[in-house]
Amino acid sequence: MRRPVPRNLTVLAVSAAVVVSVGAAAPPPAAQSAGGEKSPLAVGYGGAVSSVDPDASAAGIEVLRKGGNAVDAAVATAAALGVTEPYSAGIGGGGYFVYYDAKSRTVRTIDGRETAPLSADKDLFLENGKPLAFADAVSSGLSVGTPGTPATWQTALDQWGSKRLASVLKPAERLARDGFTVDETFRSQTASNEARFRYFPDTADLFLPGGQLPVVGSTFKNPDLARTYAELGHKGVDAIYRGRLGRDIVDTVNKPPVDPGSGWNARPGDLTAKDLAAYRTKLQAPTRTSYRGLGVYSMAPSSSGGTTVGEALNILERTDLSKASKAKYLHRFIEASRIAFADRGRWVGDPAFEDVPTKELLSQRFADSRECLIKDDAVLTSPVAPGDPRDPARCGSGDKAAPTTYEGDSTTHLTVADKWGNVVAYTLTIEQTGGSGITVPGRGFILNNELTDFSFAPANPAVHDPNLPGPGKRPRSSISPTIVLDRHHQPVVALGSPGGATIITTVLQTLTGFVDRGLPLVDAIAAPRASQRNAAQTELEPGLDSDVRKQLEAIGHSFKANPEIGAATGVQRLPGGKWLAAAETVRRGGGSAMVVRPVR
């Protein structure tokens, strides 16, 4: 029997006490200005923006203050993140956009995932019959998919926005031209990529000024990107998909501009003008899962985020997590994640190429057939074999499990709400930190390495792998931008995170912390994370209570350290037109939550 939505989550019952509780968990809102100090919490009116960066959040707030809606502000924030978070996102990548329309009270999504060249086949990453080493594939033209981010921005504005692209790009254009202040996160991410950035002279010239790492506190300018944004604003995204800018991308992918003295074999790709001209975003219905009386909406395939988070929530539906001990809560969360990842690996791929049983994966009947595998006094042995959602058998398993493919964790997420009640949860990426490492000469942005999200070869030749490369195919993603509605189809909370495959577990843990455990949103985001992806060990951040860890290890859990999992942001709707924006308190140097008119 399903429990009703917890009373404290119904919008009409959210009291001032909730705001006080959240406010006690984090510093008060910072001044709402570009370049100001980061604050993980803001409460107020007129709309809200939450991202990892104060300049980016300020760009979105600027658009909201000028009368733009949530979609306009989301594009402005994303473009600014392309300046300040260039190793995580930008016009050389792709992403997934989830939108709640307050007027119709419906959720819609845009699949802006990158696509493989039309010449690609299942042997894309094979060399002499063997899979390439991952590092060799990443920093090459082979890894670059057709970018989907510019098309996503234009699609979103055309469908639901109120401003023109040129208008919402202005804050980011100004930021790229005038510069932003380098922080420790930007410097450390540059340092971790320094060796491969030096393979590519254009990347080194831009991100290693004077041949050195950028200095914390210095101003970093990107005039090439400012000019690129100005060109996009003037000519539209056809500049990429049918114009000179697109030809520059094609030339860079097919003949990566590598330093001959580096000795690096930057394998060429096979991207063509035809690939760019053929690219289309996909407007599609979201996934929907009912959980504790709430409607949980997210991305359908090609992302596995919506189906995997949804299946795990359905598995957890039978357990009253609000009354469970912390150890039992984490045990159930870990085991549900383990099972859902087993089914993800077997069944989810690009639905244009694969028969993905999305409806069946999200059925409560299938979840119940898998939930019975979980025992409170023992741990499932990984890898768990997948079940068959088309013909669920109680505690049944089917084919041999496939290992979870690696996905780069340097993605970024933003969440926006406006004064009319519209909401956007948008996750965008260039895949791993620094993407392919290849900067388009004179254009100021790095190209993605999203095609390495494909399986390089089948994990089990006897079982079909839905995530092998193919012509024009979208690689499977874990991106999970999520919007939760109450029974009146009004927003309760929206959130998402970067982190590769850990995105799914981050969103799942944050949601259950907020909905079931009663944590204020900023605390649910800050809580120490675990991530189980059908592996022998569960990744665990520092900070988990040692007694709880010992209890989990006593029944068979095995952990390995991960210093940082994800970097979530979210917004929560409060009574009377008020919004709460929340971000990380520590991860990635802390996030930036802002509102148009703050109140304390």
SS3 475: coil
* 3-state class (DSSP) for residue 530: strand
Looking at residue 346, what DSSP letter applies?
A: H
Burial bucket for residue 245 (CB in 10 Å: 0-12, 13-18, 19+): buried
Say if residues 228 and 91 touch (Cβ distance below 8 Å).
Answer: yes
Residue 416 near residue 89 (C-beta atoms within 8 A)? no
- Is residue 442 packed enough to be buried (19+ CB in 10 Å), middle (13-18) or exposed (0-12)? exposed
Token code pair at residue 87: 């190793």
Strand pairing partners for 491? 485
What is the DSSP-derived secondary structure letter of residue 105?
A: T
Helices (H) and strands (E) in the chain, counts: 19, 20
| Greatest alpha-carbon span in the chain | 67
Euclidean distance between CA atoms 240 and 262, whole angstroms:
30
Structural tokens at position 553? 């290890």
Angle at 513 between CA 512 and CA 515, to 5 degrees: 60
List CB contacts of 472: < 8 A, sequence separation 6 or more. Answer: 115, 116, 117, 118, 120, 275, 278, 352
- Identify the active-site residue in 115, 155, 185, 411: 411
For residue 594, give every residue at least 6 positions away whose Cβ sits within 8 Å of its Cβ, in sequence order, or none: 29, 32, 39, 42, 48, 49, 50, 54, 57, 58, 60, 61, 581
DSSP run (H or E) holding 492: strand 491-496
| 8 Å CB contact between 51 and 600 | no
Residue 531 phi, psi dihedral angles, 5° rounding:
-140, 115
Which residues lie below 8 Å from residue 380, measured CB to CB, with a gap of 6+?
A: 335, 338, 339, 373, 374
Under a CB-based contact definition with an 8 Å cutoff, are residues 515 and 8 in contact?
no
Q: Examine the residue annotation and report whether 452 is marked as an active-site residue of this protein.
A: no
User: 383 preceded by cis ω (within 30°)?
Assistant: yes
Q: What's the number of CA atoms in the CB half-sphere (13 Å) around residue 23?
A: 14
Phi, psi at residue 166, to the nearest 5°? -55, -40
If one counts every other C-beta atom within 10 angstroms of the C-beta of residue 155, the result is: 21
378-399: b or e for each residue (b if 16 or more CB lie within 10 Å)?
ebbebbbbbbbbeebeeeebbb
In degrees and rounded to multiples of 5, residue 461 shows phi and psi of -55, -20
Please give, one letter per residue, the 3-state secondary structure of 72-136. Answer: HHHHHHHHHHHHHCCCCCCCCCEEEEEEEECCCCEEEEEEECCECCCCCCCCCCEECCEECCHHH
The residues with which 49 forms a beta bridge, in sequence order, are 416, 594
Rg (CA), the chain: 22
- Strand 569-573 relative to strand 491-496: parallel, antiparallel, unpaired? antiparallel
Give the residue numbers annotated as catalytic, written as ranges.
Answer: 411
